[in-house]
């Protein structure tokens, strides 16, 4: 005779292990050097998976506690709906959660330039990016770019010889890959001076000579 308690425990334990393995696989599959893209991937997969599980749960519940004939009728449409959610909704949700559809641009070293970005840049570029976002005249877009509200300059994640690296775009044409920390620090210093000027500008306007 089958022990229902042992069977339930076996099924529950197996499902728990499978769920943990699924979470780990999703984390590995969605790893990205750009934090915005990584977050968007995981949220998109989590949302589409939750909707799919809800559809499957509704069909199973109708088999157990509802009309079995109706449950049999809607099983195939439910399967197709679940596949559609996973295959079609996931890319849409990825962009909805701020993921960028365009791949990061690859820049190869030229003659006279180092093969890789220096370690100090690698360690501090994210901190400098956050400092730019904190300035009053900068805003972060859904794609993860940092835009100047005054000049339209764009600071964004690019790649230099395969490594994530910040780049600055001026006027939509000229672009600089910041492989040295001095470039980023100098740019941040200029923007902080502009920010300080903007903060004190209202007092100058209200008290004209």
108 and 161 in contact (C-beta within 8 Å)? yes
Q: What is the average pLDDT across 140-159?
A: 84
Please give the Cα distance from 144 to 16 (Å, whole number). Answer: 35
pLDDT band for position 206 (50/70/90)?
very low
**Whole-model pTM above 0.85?**
no
Q: Are the C-beta atoms of residues 161 and 107 closer than 8 Å to each other?
A: yes
Q: Is 178 helix (H, G, I), strand (E, B) or coil?
A: coil
Give the domain ranges of the chain: 4-96, 106-206
Q: Work out the mean pLDDT of the chain and round it to a whole number.
A: 76
Residue-wise pLDDT for 95-116, tens only, equals 777 776 454 454 454 545 677 7
Angle of helix 119-134 relative to helix 181-206, nearest 10 degrees, comes to 20
User: Is residue 198 scored above 50 in pLDDT?
Assistant: yes
Average pLDDT over residues 132-143: 86
In which band, very low, low, confident or very high, does the pLDDT at 1 lie, cut at 50, 70 and 90? Answer: very low
* Rounded mean pLDDT, 75-94: 82
CB 105 within 8 A of CB 159: yes
pLDDT above 60 (res 41) = yes
Residue 42 has pLDDT above 50, yes or no: yes
pLDDT (mean) for 6-23: 64
Q: Hey, is 164 helix, strand or coil? A: strand
| Percent of the chain predicted with pLDDT > 70 | 68
Average pLDDT over residues 62-89: 81
């Amino acid at each position: 005779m089958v022990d229902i308690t042992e069977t339930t425990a076996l099924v529950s334990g197996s499902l728990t292990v499978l769920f943990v393995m699924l979470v780990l696989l999703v984390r590995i599959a969605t790893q990205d050097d750009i934090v915005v893209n990584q977050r968007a991937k995981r949220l998109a997969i989590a949302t589409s998976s939750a909707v799919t599980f809800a559809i499957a749960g509704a069909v199973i519940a109708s088999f157990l506690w509802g009309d079995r004939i109706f449950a049999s009728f809607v099983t195939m449409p439910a399967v197709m709906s679940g596949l559609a959610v996973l295959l079609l909704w996931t890319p849409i949700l990825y962009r909805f959660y701020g993921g960028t559809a365009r791949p990061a641009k690859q820049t190869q070293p030229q003659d006279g330039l180092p093969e890789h970005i220096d370690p100090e840049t690698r360690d501090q570029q994210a901190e400098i990016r956050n400092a730019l976002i904190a300035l009053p005249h900068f805003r972060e877009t859904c794609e993860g770019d940092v835009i100047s509200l005054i000049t339209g300059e764009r600071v964004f994640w690019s790649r230099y010889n395969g490594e994530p690296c910040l780049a600055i775009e001026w006027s939509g044409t000229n672009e600089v890959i910041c492989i040295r920390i001095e470039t980023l620090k100098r740019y941040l210093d200029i923007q902080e001076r502009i920010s300080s000027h903007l903060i004190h500008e209202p007092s100058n306007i209200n008290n004209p000579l």
